[in-house]
Copies of this chain bind each other. A is one copy, B any other.
Amino acid sequence: MRQLLPNALEDVIEQLGNLPGVGIRTAERYATHLLRADDRNVQKLAASLATLHKKVKYCPVTFAYINDDQTVSPLYSDSDRDKSLIAVVEEPLDIVALERTNQYMGTYHVLGGAISPIDGIGPEQLHIPELVERIKSDQVIEVIIATNASVEGESTALYLQRYLSEQGVVVKMSRLARGLPVGVDLEYADQITLTHALEGRKTI
């Protein structure tokens, strides 16, 4: 079919269409929104994107996102963070979720994903050796395995548990509690969540 839209607009639509979950209609909607928006805002977005990769690095210890002028994540280097406690998460943004609770003063370790044979992700692609290294060098007392409550997250947690004991790493290991989330009616809770909630019940 002949081309119906200006090349520049087609380019933007095609590239926005590569974002996760964005189809052609959504990409068209985003592109025409940007075309109608103030060009200064579009320029700002273009400039931010152009420097994104250069300005964001991974912390070499925790694999959290850091600024390019930082050598290590402040969530690790800060003296008020308890280095003997590590929360192991799948992705860098999981750190943000845990930090928002304002309840955790330990450090983090980002695995960089979860074991998922279907997506071709095996344990060798995750930052597991670096975790073992940290547990030894920082005299870690407890590792909280804070992977997602998904099949992949569970498999990863099980693998980690087995792997660490195989490596002779002696450390207390824990998992985030499973149970009813806030605001959920029993009636609407799924069976597995309710089973977890029963098993993990607390004496009051």
Chain A residues engaging chain B, CB cutoff 8 angstroms: 1, 4-9, 11-12, 15-16, 18-21, 28-35, 37, 39, 41-57, 65-68, 75, 91-93, 95-96, 99-100
Contacts and interface: CB of A to CB of B under 8 A. Distances in A.
B6 A67 contact: yes
Contacts of A95: 4
B19 A30 contact: yes
Given A9-B52, A93-B32, A44 B65 contact: no
Give the dominant DSSP class at A's interface.
helix
B42 A18 contact: no
A44 B56 contact: no
A33 B8 contact: no
B11 A48 contact: yes
Nearest to A67: B6
28 contacts: A5-B93, A5-B96, A6-B56, A6-B57, A6-B67, A7-B55, A7-B67, A8-B54, A8-B67, A8-B68, A9-B56, A12-B52, A15-B41, A15-B44, A19-B30, A19-B34, A20-B29, A32-B91, A32-B92, A32-B93, A34-B49, A39-B53, A42-B49, A42-B50, A42-B53, A43-B50, A46-B46, A46-B50
